[in-house]
A and B are shown apart, each in its own frame.
Chain A
């Protein structure tokens, strides 16, 4: 089962998100990467049903990266090579000692958030679980006791 196609982001926005997935969460140490797990497609769905503030953070962030790529390299972010993408992204990276105290700068905040979201969407994906199972490794992000709706009104 795979995620459906793009619904929320524009074509350039989604291409930028997909490029970020390839850069931030590549396949490493035998694990699957963000693109292999449809993490960008999942985030397209998730952000599309999220509160306006989160939608704005994403849309502005993706547009901002694309605009910077055009200014700096005269091409879309999705068409950058990795060295060019690094030149844009690395100045925007910030360590976050505490996850409820995010960077005030909107671009730095977006880059932090999309990085974390792509990691989570990848780790928690059906494709990652399937890849772990097929490799015989203890895998996926695991599970837990899910509380069903309890006697709803």
Chain B
């Protein structure tokens, strides 16, 4: 490895890096993939255990993973160790940076909700004046979405709604809606709110990850070398040409530093790790925009209602059960004036139960309430777009180093009134529908998790046509260094309410196919 020069070096092995390896190796390019963590052995690394046999009875080790609300005692070892990999933030501005460094990254554990962005997002500035438009439209990305959806075997119901673009879906037969879902749908229709079904990647064998859908084909070409436990410290540049020519990386175990050479460097380490690497390398920031515009989505807002007919053990099949999905229904036109811009989606589930925290009761009294509401509840869970703002940013903290001596990130993000107003509107709107249905509100909150919780962080190396206001061009190449390409979520201009995975995959596919053409022409 010390002397070989690869055509392309790929940093990261999640969805975006896996797609890059898949596309580029099939075009005959020699690729090296560096991944910061180990490769999990599912047979050796996982064991079936009863919760009572865990050391902390399921509470988890106290004080560990304080930023990872998704962590529990079963899955604690899959997340990045926050002591080895620290980051900082103002205590008054919490940020949950949720990381996985296993081969495959976060593609191993995502929820598989699979959506396209619409031109409401790509051309958002024209709709709401917030931020800037993407330099591409849905039409540019649609062919790539279709190919990604085929690989990931996305199921969904086609609707023909511009705010919820249809895709290349596997046809699915849905069972008849329960009476509860029918009632909910009828009320929404009267309010001109579209009700659909969840769109989801089926993948293969219950897994929709780079490690089973993308990387194996790349390895089969014989063109991919893969190195685990390789922590990239710095991108190196040829002083004569100004082009990227490789990276320094550190072996995770021995802490030995090595260098690898490549004609092109692709960053796919996840939004914040790729940004950290660019900043630590002092590259790609002639615009001064690198690290800014960090945003994700608000999670946590929810409303729970109980269907009176289903209370006291009468929650039979036909009455309860099933689900519905409401894509964005606010601010679809300029005429829809509210006290917030952007939008949110709602996931509806029927047939759940009330929880002990919903009641000011204990003992017999609490048990009676839990029995009363068991199986009778409908829950609306809301996910909304955070606005990308320049002042929400990351910077390098040279005073705090990770376990390999690499400077860490300081994250400085704060929500605005837009997020607060959107959350209130979303909780109020769902409560109103539930009340119209005659259901009893059990619980309602318009509070939401700190930024980062959604694990959908994007935007810190945004793309654009103007090199003075963006870090990447519309092909995900650095404006400053054309053979430096960033294919993860950092290129996003706006995130929308949608899970970003399909968009990240489509952008990576598009960027890599363009890169191949550029390399053939000798333009990179």
- Known contacts A46-B56, A97-B445, A124-B57; is A140 also within 8 Å of B51 by CB? yes
Q: Provide the A97-130 mask, 1 if CB < 8 A to any CB of B, else 0.
A: 1111100000000001001110111001110110
Which B residues are in CB contact (< 8 Å) with A143?
48-51, 53
Check: B63 CB closer than 8 A to any chain A CB.
Answer: yes
B338 at the interface (CB under 8 A from A): no
Instruction: List B residues 352-366 near A (Cβ within 8 Å).
Output: 356-364
Contacting pair B57 A120 (CB below 8 A): yes
Chain B residue, CB-CB nearest to A98: B445
B161: Cβ under 8 A from any A Cβ: no
Chain B residues within an 8 Å CB radius of A46: 56-57, 59, 62
Q: Which of A49-57, A59-67, A69-77 contacts B (4 or more CB under 8 A)?
A: A49-57
Residues of chain B within 8 A (CB-CB) of A140 are 50-52
- Contact of A142 with B by CB under 8 A: yes
Closest residue of B by beta carbon distance from A90: B360
| CB <8 Å contact, B445 and A101 | yes
Contact A125 B57 (CB under 8 A): yes
Is B47 located at the chain interface by the 8 A CB criterion?
A: yes
A147–B362 contact, CB under 8 A? no
Inter-chain contacts of B25 with A (CB < 8 A):
none
Known: A124-B57, A126-B52, A129-B50. A144 touches B74 (CB 8 A): yes
A142 and B449 CA atoms in complex are apart in Å by 28
Within the assembled complex, what's the spacing in Å between the Cα atoms of A50 and B514?
Answer: 52
User: Once the chains are docked, how many angstroms separate the CA of A129 from the CA of B362?
Assistant: 22
A contact face: mostly helix, strand, loop, or mixed: loop
User: What distance in Å separates the Cβ of B78 from its nearest Cβ neighbour in chain A?
Assistant: 5
Tell me if B46 and A147 are in contact (CB < 8 A): yes
- Would A147 and B57 be within 8 Å (CB), given that A124-B51, A129-B50 are in contact? no
Give Cα A125 to B54, complex, Å: 10
User: Is residue B182 contacting chain A, with contact meaning CB distance below 8 A?
Assistant: no
A89 within 8 A of B: yes
Binding site for B on A (CB under 8 A): 23-26, 28-29, 42, 46, 49-51, 54, 89-90, 93-101, 112, 115-117, 119-121, 124-126, 128-129, 140-151, 153
Provide a sorted-by-A list of 15 A–B residue pairs whose CB atoms are within 8 angstroms. Answer: A24-B363, A29-B367, A46-B56, A93-B362, A97-B302, A116-B356, A124-B51, A141-B51, A144-B49, A145-B47, A147-B45, A150-B38, A150-B78, A151-B37, A153-B84
**6 tightest CB-CB pairs across the interface, nearest first?**
A151-B38, A93-B360, A98-B445, A50-B62, A97-B445, A143-B50
Question: Could you list which residues of chain B lie within 8 angstroms of chain A, going by C-beta atoms?
Answer: 37-38, 40, 44-54, 56-59, 62-63, 69, 73-78, 84, 102, 229, 252-253, 300, 302, 356-364, 367, 403, 443-445, 447, 449
Q: A93-B361, A98-B445, A146-B46 are in contact. List 19 more A-B contacts (CB 8 A).
A: A46-B62, A93-B362, A95-B357, A96-B357, A96-B358, A98-B447, A100-B447, A117-B59, A120-B59, A140-B50, A140-B51, A144-B48, A145-B48, A146-B74, A147-B77, A148-B45, A150-B78, A151-B38, A153-B84
